[in-house]
Structure 1
Amino acid sequence: MNTRKMPDKHELVLTRLVLDVLKPHKPGMVEFAQALTGLRGVTKVEVSIIEVDADTETVKLTVEGNNINFEQIANTVKQLGAAVHSVDQVTYSHPTKQQT
Protein backbone atom coordinates (compact mmCIF):
# COMPACT_ATOMS: atom_id res chain seq x y z
CA MET A 1 0.00 0.00 0.00
CA ASN A 2 1.34 3.41 -0.97
CA THR A 3 0.99 5.81 1.94
CA ARG A 4 2.90 8.62 0.30
CA LYS A 5 0.86 11.81 0.29
CA MET A 6 0.51 13.77 -2.93
CA PRO A 7 1.86 17.31 -2.54
CA ASP A 8 -0.77 19.97 -2.01
CA LYS A 9 -1.12 22.13 -5.13
CA HIS A 10 0.05 25.08 -3.03
CA GLU A 11 3.31 23.26 -2.31
CA LEU A 12 4.26 23.21 -6.01
CA VAL A 13 4.83 25.99 -8.53
CA LEU A 14 4.80 25.95 -12.33
CA THR A 15 8.37 26.61 -13.49
CA ARG A 16 8.37 25.55 -17.17
CA LEU A 17 5.74 25.36 -19.87
CA VAL A 18 6.13 24.30 -23.52
CA LEU A 19 3.25 25.15 -25.84
CA ASP A 20 2.49 24.60 -29.52
CA VAL A 21 1.08 27.93 -30.69
CA LEU A 22 -0.41 29.14 -33.98
CA LYS A 23 0.21 32.88 -34.36
CA PRO A 24 -0.16 35.48 -37.09
CA HIS A 25 3.01 36.95 -38.62
CA LYS A 26 2.39 40.15 -36.64
CA PRO A 27 3.38 40.67 -33.91
CA GLY A 28 6.82 39.32 -34.76
CA MET A 29 8.67 36.85 -32.59
CA VAL A 30 10.58 39.55 -30.69
CA GLU A 31 7.43 41.47 -29.73
CA PHE A 32 5.61 38.22 -28.94
CA ALA A 33 8.39 37.09 -26.59
CA GLN A 34 8.70 40.53 -24.97
CA ALA A 35 4.98 40.64 -24.17
CA LEU A 36 5.18 37.27 -22.42
CA THR A 37 8.44 38.03 -20.62
CA GLY A 38 6.74 41.04 -19.03
CA LEU A 39 4.27 38.83 -17.17
CA ARG A 40 4.57 38.23 -13.43
CA GLY A 41 6.67 35.18 -12.59
CA VAL A 42 8.15 34.80 -16.09
CA THR A 43 11.94 34.97 -16.28
CA LYS A 44 12.64 33.49 -19.72
CA VAL A 45 10.73 33.04 -23.00
CA GLU A 46 11.91 31.15 -26.08
CA VAL A 47 9.98 31.22 -29.36
CA SER A 48 11.04 28.85 -32.16
CA ILE A 49 9.39 28.75 -35.57
CA ILE A 50 8.26 25.26 -36.53
CA GLU A 51 6.32 26.07 -39.72
CA VAL A 52 5.40 29.15 -41.76
CA ASP A 53 2.24 29.43 -43.84
CA ALA A 54 0.87 32.33 -45.90
CA ASP A 55 -0.83 34.02 -42.93
CA THR A 56 0.42 32.20 -39.84
CA GLU A 57 3.39 30.69 -38.04
CA THR A 58 3.41 27.57 -35.90
CA VAL A 59 5.81 28.16 -33.03
CA LYS A 60 7.12 26.27 -30.04
CA LEU A 61 6.76 28.57 -27.05
CA THR A 62 8.85 27.77 -23.98
CA VAL A 63 8.18 29.80 -20.84
CA GLU A 64 10.29 29.49 -17.70
CA GLY A 65 9.97 31.26 -14.40
CA ASN A 66 8.98 31.22 -10.78
CA ASN A 67 5.34 30.36 -10.20
CA ILE A 68 4.13 30.88 -13.78
CA ASN A 69 0.40 31.51 -14.14
CA PHE A 70 -0.81 29.29 -17.01
CA GLU A 71 -4.10 31.16 -17.44
CA GLN A 72 -2.25 34.47 -17.71
CA ILE A 73 0.06 33.01 -20.37
CA ALA A 74 -2.88 31.56 -22.35
CA ASN A 75 -4.83 34.84 -22.13
CA THR A 76 -1.84 36.89 -23.28
CA VAL A 77 -1.24 34.52 -26.21
CA LYS A 78 -4.90 35.00 -27.18
CA GLN A 79 -4.67 38.80 -26.82
CA LEU A 80 -1.70 38.71 -29.21
CA GLY A 81 -3.96 37.07 -31.82
CA ALA A 82 -2.55 33.57 -31.38
CA ALA A 83 -4.01 30.25 -30.23
CA VAL A 84 -2.57 27.53 -28.02
CA HIS A 85 -2.86 24.26 -29.97
CA SER A 86 -1.39 22.01 -27.31
CA VAL A 87 0.46 21.89 -24.02
CA ASP A 88 3.52 19.79 -24.82
CA GLN A 89 5.44 19.93 -21.55
CA VAL A 90 4.79 21.10 -17.99
CA THR A 91 7.25 21.26 -15.11
CA TYR A 92 6.17 21.82 -11.52
CA SER A 93 8.74 22.27 -8.76
CA HIS A 94 8.81 22.83 -5.04
CA PRO A 95 9.14 26.57 -4.49
CA THR A 96 12.40 28.08 -3.35
CA LYS A 97 12.44 31.07 -1.03
CA GLN A 98 12.69 33.36 -4.08
CA GLN A 99 9.59 31.76 -5.65
CA THR A 100 7.28 32.30 -2.67
Structure 2
Amino acid sequence: MPGQGKRRRQRSELRERAAAAWAAEAERPGHWEVVFETRDESDWSNQLPTRIRRLRAERGVTDERLIRVDVLCGRTVQPTTYRLSLFVPADAVPPSAEAPPHP
Protein backbone atom coordinates (compact mmCIF):
# COMPACT_ATOMS: atom_id res chain seq x y z
CA MET A 1 0.00 0.00 0.00
CA PRO A 2 1.31 3.46 -0.81
CA GLY A 3 2.42 5.49 2.21
CA GLN A 4 2.46 2.55 4.61
CA GLY A 5 6.24 2.69 5.08
CA LYS A 6 6.08 6.41 5.83
CA ARG A 7 3.36 5.90 8.47
CA ARG A 8 5.33 3.05 10.03
CA ARG A 9 8.49 5.21 10.22
CA GLN A 10 6.55 8.13 11.70
CA ARG A 11 5.02 5.92 14.40
CA SER A 12 8.42 4.41 15.15
CA GLU A 13 10.05 7.86 15.44
CA LEU A 14 7.23 9.04 17.70
CA ARG A 15 7.71 6.03 20.00
CA GLU A 16 11.48 6.62 20.10
CA ARG A 17 11.03 10.31 20.99
CA ALA A 18 8.53 9.45 23.73
CA ALA A 19 10.87 6.78 25.13
CA ALA A 20 13.78 9.24 25.15
CA ALA A 21 11.67 11.85 26.97
CA TRP A 22 10.61 9.34 29.62
CA ALA A 23 14.20 8.11 30.03
CA ALA A 24 15.33 11.68 30.72
CA GLU A 25 12.55 12.08 33.31
CA ALA A 26 13.48 8.78 34.98
CA GLU A 27 17.06 9.96 35.50
CA ARG A 28 15.94 13.13 37.26
CA PRO A 29 16.60 12.86 41.01
CA GLY A 30 13.64 13.14 43.33
CA HIS A 31 10.90 11.10 44.93
CA TRP A 32 7.14 10.49 44.76
CA GLU A 33 5.19 12.03 47.63
CA VAL A 34 1.83 10.41 48.42
CA VAL A 35 -0.81 13.16 48.47
CA PHE A 36 -3.95 11.07 48.93
CA GLU A 37 -4.58 7.38 49.60
CA THR A 38 -7.77 5.46 50.26
CA ARG A 39 -9.24 1.98 50.05
CA ASP A 40 -12.77 3.22 49.37
CA GLU A 41 -13.48 3.27 45.61
CA SER A 42 -16.39 5.74 45.87
CA ASP A 43 -14.30 8.09 48.00
CA TRP A 44 -11.52 7.83 45.40
CA SER A 45 -13.73 8.56 42.40
CA ASN A 46 -15.41 11.48 44.19
CA GLN A 47 -12.24 13.15 45.48
CA LEU A 48 -9.75 12.54 42.65
CA PRO A 49 -10.77 15.50 40.41
CA THR A 50 -10.85 17.83 43.43
CA ARG A 51 -7.43 16.68 44.65
CA ILE A 52 -5.85 17.16 41.21
CA ARG A 53 -7.35 20.67 40.90
CA ARG A 54 -6.01 21.47 44.37
CA LEU A 55 -2.51 20.25 43.41
CA ARG A 56 -2.54 22.50 40.36
CA ALA A 57 -3.82 25.52 42.29
CA GLU A 58 -1.84 25.24 45.55
CA ARG A 59 1.42 23.74 44.36
CA GLY A 60 1.44 25.17 40.83
CA VAL A 61 1.64 21.78 39.10
CA THR A 62 1.36 22.38 35.36
CA ASP A 63 3.11 19.27 34.01
CA GLU A 64 0.81 16.24 34.19
CA ARG A 65 3.83 13.90 34.21
CA LEU A 66 4.48 15.04 37.79
CA ILE A 67 1.18 13.52 38.94
CA ARG A 68 0.85 9.76 39.30
CA VAL A 69 -2.31 7.74 39.91
CA ASP A 70 -1.80 4.22 41.25
CA VAL A 71 -4.34 1.47 41.76
CA LEU A 72 -2.71 -1.24 43.84
CA CYS A 73 -4.83 -4.30 43.15
CA GLY A 74 -5.81 -6.22 46.22
CA ARG A 75 -6.72 -9.80 46.90
CA THR A 76 -9.04 -11.41 49.43
CA VAL A 77 -6.51 -10.78 52.21
CA GLN A 78 -5.51 -7.26 51.21
CA PRO A 79 -8.01 -4.71 49.78
CA THR A 80 -7.40 -2.56 46.71
CA THR A 81 -5.65 0.74 47.47
CA TYR A 82 -5.99 3.93 45.42
CA ARG A 83 -3.11 6.42 45.59
CA LEU A 84 -2.41 9.90 44.20
CA SER A 85 1.26 10.94 44.21
CA LEU A 86 3.24 14.02 43.23
CA PHE A 87 6.84 13.95 41.99
CA VAL A 88 9.07 16.17 44.13
CA PRO A 89 12.45 17.00 42.54
CA ALA A 90 15.48 16.61 44.79
CA ASP A 91 16.34 20.31 44.43
CA ALA A 92 12.84 21.50 45.43
CA VAL A 93 12.48 23.69 48.51
CA PRO A 94 10.40 22.00 51.23
CA PRO A 95 7.10 23.82 51.97
CA SER A 96 8.18 24.56 55.57
CA ALA A 97 11.30 26.37 54.32
CA GLU A 98 9.37 28.66 51.95
CA ALA A 99 7.59 30.71 54.62
CA PRO A 100 9.62 32.64 57.19
CA PRO A 101 8.79 31.90 60.85
CA HIS A 102 6.25 34.19 62.49
CA PRO A 103 7.38 36.12 65.60
Q: TM-score range by the shorter chain?
A: 0.3 to 0.5
Higher normalized helix content (fraction of residues) = 2
TM-score norm. by structure 2 comes to 0.34
TM-score by length of 1: 0.34
Q: Choose between structure 1 and 2 for higher RCO, CA contacts under 8 A separated by at least 6 residues.
A: 1
Which structure has the larger Rg? 2
- Which structure is higher in strand share? 1
